[in-house]
Structure 1
Amino acid sequence: MTLAAYDLTGRSALVTGAASGIGRACTALLASAGATVHCADVDEDGLAGTRALIKDAGGTAYVHPLDVTDRSRVEAVVASAVRASRRLDVLAAVAGVMHSSPVLQTRDEDLDRVMAVNFKGVLYACQESARAMIAAGTPGSLVTMASGAVDAASPDLLCYSAAKAAVVQLTRTLATELGPHRIRVNAVAPGWIRTPMTDRHDAELQSRAEAAITKITPLRRVGGPEEVAHTVLHLACDASAFTTGQIIRPNGGVAMPW
């Protein structure tokens, strides 16, 4: 194995949720590996920051305002990415939202919103990206974003956990269906990663949560977005050419499923 297996020069990648956190880290790392990156997010200001970061580093980036719950808009963004780059090789479906509430206090609108973004948004992106890859007759890699919440009971996280569990099953099903087309599909299930999503808590609560996670994590720390991005890069490139249908867990060892 050589570093050439991680070279994405000449390839095109679409990243949803690219405006911040894990999505921004993935976009920047894929660009540094040589890919032309298409940055998609509902946060247009954040997208501009991601694009500037990549261009300042010498990479090539396009921005696409995108609400992943809008199927027609997802179709348009994928089509735009293919037109601009003449190909689509990688999808990293990172866009997601968090919601916390006990099961008995969970409302229909809470569940509907989280499922729309965290599951349907991933489904739409995978469907349209796979269709583009099949039409071009080229191999590709779809990387979905699951969560460590799928590996344990997570109080107050019913909506989020259920949506991420659905992403895991989507990943496995797509890997089976798309393998004959030379399209690989894998999921990344991070543990606690310090991002704007986890930083939504007040500082004291954030500190207590991280201390508790650190105590039960074998590596005795929380993770950073770049560490998840490196897992995504591995799954996106030729280094993982014989890997599909897998759930990869950059989680510091906090969960070790068979």
Structure 2
Amino acid sequence: MPQSNTYQHQVALVTGAGQGIGFAIARELARQGAAVLLNDLDHTLAKQAAETIRQEGGTCLAYPGDASDVTFIADMVQTAIAAFGKLTIVIANAGITIFGDFFDYNPEDFERVMGLNLRGSFFLTQAAARQMRSQGSGGSILLMSSVVGHQAHPGLAAYSMTKAALEMLAKNLVLDLSPHGISINAVAPGATLTERTTDDPTYIPIWSRITPMGRPATVDDIANAALFLVSPQSRHITGQSLIVDGGWTAVSPPPVA
């Protein structure tokens, strides 16, 4: 059963939630009473993640597909409405990281990064905000940024650009969304232990050494920040970016072995 009713009667859509940070956010929202539409590009991951949440007593529907596709985004929002009757929380977590030397970075990788990180987040926000506006009862939107939207990181020129852009999008949309009672913020995670990062045996030692708090974040560290920003406790916070990095951006040593 859900652990609390903080998000009872709320309907959340979380993209890129088959594993990692997105799954932790979706899982905690469901534990606290929200009905969740869970998206991931990987059909198997999406269905397994939704089933795990249901087995724990939560309400969750898988909706796998490409969160960079504008037609799919519209279908996803309408599916949430058809299944749960409304949409009150949206977390644009889907994103892709493609490292590459700036001098050799190719247009194909650039378009993939821009397509999911920017186009997908922008048009999901637009579709969600239109729905929330029509409902007339407000809502919360959260964009997923990164510490590399604040500090330079080797090989991430294109990716970093998208994350800085998402923070500016959150700030700019205060003008459009506030009159409708819709908040929009961003979370900027630092080094975080996920299925992807823990495949690298050097990840924990390096980031533990260079993070002032002595360890990388867990997915629950990021989920806790995300849930706060879409909760009633943060109703007067909008247009902001919350960095969750154990202090790394305060000192910013590079992750070298």
TM-score (norm 1): 0.92
Conserved 8 A contact 2:9-2:35:
yes
Conserved 8 A contact 2:92-2:143:
yes
Structure 1 residues 213, 222: closer, same or farther in 2, change over 3 A? Answer: same
Distance in 2 between residues matched to 1:166 and 1:19, nearest whole Å: 25
Distance in 1 between residues matched to 2:226 and 2:175, nearest whole Å: 20
1:198 aligns with 2:192: no
1:170: how far off?
1.0
Conserved 8 A contact 1:176-1:245:
no
1:210: how far off?
3.2
1:111: how far off?
0.7
Distance in 2 between residues matched to 1:116 and 1:74, nearest whole Å: 13
Comparing 248-257 and 122-131, the one that deviates more: 248-257
- What residue number does 1:215 align with? 209
Distance in 2 between residues matched to 1:125 and 1:256, nearest whole Å: 32
Conserved 8 A contact 2:191-2:216:
yes
- What residue number does 1:123 align with? 122
- What residue number does 1:86 align with? 85
Conserved 8 A contact 1:14-1:91:
yes
Q: Which runs of 4+ in 1 moved over 4 A?
A: none
Q: Which has the higher contact order (CA 8 A, sep 6+)?
A: 1
Distance in 2 between residues matched to 1:209 and 1:57, nearest whole Å: 31
- What residue number does 2:50 align with? 51
Q: Which SS does the other structure have where 2:143 is aligned?
A: strand
Corresponding residue pairs, total: 249
Conserved 8 A contact 1:91-1:142:
yes
1:235 aligns with 2:229: yes
Q: Which SS does the other structure have where 2:215 is aligned?
A: coil
Conserved 8 A contact 2:35-2:58:
yes
- What residue number does 1:249 align with? 243
Identity %, equivalent residues = 33
Q: Which SS does the other structure have where 2:33 is aligned?
A: coil
1:156: how far off?
0.4
1:48: how far off?
1.2
Q: Which runs of 5+ in 1 are unaligned?
A: none
1:175: how far off?
2.2
Q: Which runs of 5+ in 2 are unaligned?
A: 252-257
Counterparts of 1:104-119 in structure 2, within 5 Å, are 104-119=103-118
- Cα deviation, 1:148-188, whole Å, max 9, x if unaligned, reads 11111111011211111111111111123211110000000
1:224: how far off?
1.1
Distance in 2 between residues matched to 1:247 and 1:256, nearest whole Å: 15
Q: Which SS does the other structure have where 2:63 is aligned?
A: strand
Letter in 1 for 2:74: E
